[in-house]
Chains A and B, each alone.
Chain A
Amino acid sequence: MSLGDFQRALADLVANPAMCLAVRRHGSDALDSYELTPREHRRLESVVWQRGMSANCTVYRSTRATPIYTLLQNTCDLLGPSLTHELNEYWMAFPRMEVRFDLEISRFADFLAQRLKSGVVECSCDSAAITEVLAIELARETERLRPRDEHLPHQKRAARFRTALPISS
């Protein structure tokens, strides 16, 4: 199970810069919940100090933000500067990325809609307007991301949209 725990720990570090800082501060103790060999411990304690680790964290965040920003672009534009805060809140609530774009954006949309409803989103734009645009964009993208075997013949259309591949391929 050691390699599995090593890979999970590395993925957790990449998704959570605060955890990188904790390993910098507390070393092995911050990795107690993983079953690691001494060499794996040394490797993780080394990588958290490497500048490449910050790049990994940035790439992870941008990979996670891209489907949301690309597919819910108008909603994101309306959120303006508060988008960053809302994404951070979302990532704290759901630390694991959902690789299916339709599931990731619908989960984000539900999360944001709840926050808009409860009035905690600090934004210069009217919450009701954002909620409406969000619902329209979500409906449109859900339709575009619907596989062919779920389409009725008359629903076929040549939709065009941008994609969000992981950064390194």
Chain B
Amino acid sequence: MPLCDPGGRAPRLGVGMIYTISADRFARSPGALDYWAITPDMFWVDRGVDTESRFGDLPHWIEALEWAAPRLPIVAHHIGLSIGSSCPLDQGYVSQLLSWQGRWNYPWISDHLSFAQIEHGAHKGSAGIALPLPYDRSVLDMICARVSNLLELSGGPLLLENPARYIAYPDEELTETEFINALCARTGCGLLLDLHNLHCNSVNHMFDALQWLEAIDLDHVVEVHVAGGAMIGDIYADSHSGGCPNEVWDLLEHVVPRAPHIRGITFEFHDSYFDRMGGDACLEREITRARKVWQRCN
């Protein structure tokens, strides 16, 4: 039975940041953040499906979580579910996800509306990057069944993130907003609305991001991502390489007051750009700006 509020009992958190080792000092500064968003896949070693003790904690990463857990909420932003792959979900990975949900007491869990695992005969491999799904009814049915199962196992909340899609498939049966609205309405899962992904898509595929937002049901939004990007050739890429462009701030101003179930705004950046984007000063500036938007509506 779909939930009315996809955030369930999760509290309204405020403004957080994706945790990275380079931002460790900033992330631990008192009052700097209302929560941490972590990519759990970075905190463990996966020894492979056939191994006896498959997942092992990476000590220097786990130490950061052990510091944060008594102080701040930690939300999980996974990259390994590969919810849209044709192959069945990796049940060992799902078990690990659920075990960490209990261990770190996440207010919610998220992953991406895309695929990264591929089938090679009886084996699975990695595509290396997250790739876009065709928005067809059969794909929607497949993902809805998986999401419903995950919601049952985890108790929720579970969010999926709208992707940056650099390519467009001809003859899709549904638009992106139709696909996401149907997925959320049918399953009760939430939307992790990535405004920078939306901005990328609107630039690269030349559509109006505000019209996209008019078509999406903002009741489903539980978390928002903001980030910065850069050009790769002719494409504006979701590289997480700096502060947010003004267009993303404008979209954030538009969304936050219209998303009644929103629980948090997360600033994303890639570790390897930390120094080039201005280090702690850049983080402070972006978080402060996001907080102003949050505070106006809360």
Do chains A and B stick together as partners? yes
Interface size of B by Cβ–Cβ distance < 8 Å? 63
Which single member of A50, A163, A167 contacts B239 (CB below 8 Å)?
A167
Shortest beta-carbon distance from A108 to chain B in Å: 14
Residues of A within 8 A of B21 (CB): 160-163
B112 touches A169 (CB 8 A): yes
Which single member of A60, A102, A149, A158 contacts B128 (CB below 8 Å)?
A60
Known: A52-B204, A55-B233, A147-B56. A3 touches B171 (CB 8 A): no
Give Cα A6 to B77, complex, Å. 27
A55 touches B237 (CB 8 A): yes
The answer to whether B178 has its CB under 8 Å from any CB of chain A is no
A11 touches B127 (CB 8 A): yes
Chain B, residues 141-170, CB within 8 Å of chain A (1/0): the string is 000000000000000000000011111111
The answer to whether A140 has its CB under 8 Å from any CB of chain B is no
The answer to whether B119 has its CB under 8 Å from any CB of chain A is yes
The answer to whether A51 has its CB under 8 Å from any CB of chain B is yes
| Segment of A38-46, A117-125, A130-138 in the binding face | A38-46
Most A CB atoms within 10 A — which of B24, B39, B86, B138?
A: B86
Which single member of A7, A43, A98, A156 contacts B59 (CB below 8 Å)?
A156
Residues of B within 8 A of A66 (CB): 272
Give Cα A156 to B170, complex, Å. 53
A7 touches B85 (CB 8 A): yes
Residues of A within 8 A of B138 (CB): 3
Residues of B within 8 A of A147 (CB): 44-45, 56-59
Which single member of A1, A149, A157 contacts B57 (CB below 8 Å)?
A149
Interface residues of A (CB under 8 A from B): 1, 3-4, 6-8, 10-11, 14-15, 39, 42-43, 46-47, 50-56, 58-60, 63-64, 66, 70, 96-100, 102, 144-151, 156-169
Q: List 25 A-B contacts (CB under 8 A).
A: A7-B115, A7-B118, A8-B118, A10-B127, A11-B118, A11-B125, A14-B129, A50-B166, A55-B232, A55-B235, A59-B129, A97-B128, A147-B45, A147-B59, A149-B53, A150-B56, A151-B59, A157-B60, A160-B24, A165-B42, A167-B129, A167-B270, A169-B18, A169-B39, A169-B77
Knowing that A54-B235, A148-B57 are A-B contacts, what are 9 other residue pairs whose CB atoms are under 8 Å apart, sorted by A's residue number?
Answer: A50-B168, A52-B235, A53-B166, A59-B237, A96-B128, A99-B46, A102-B45, A149-B56, A167-B129
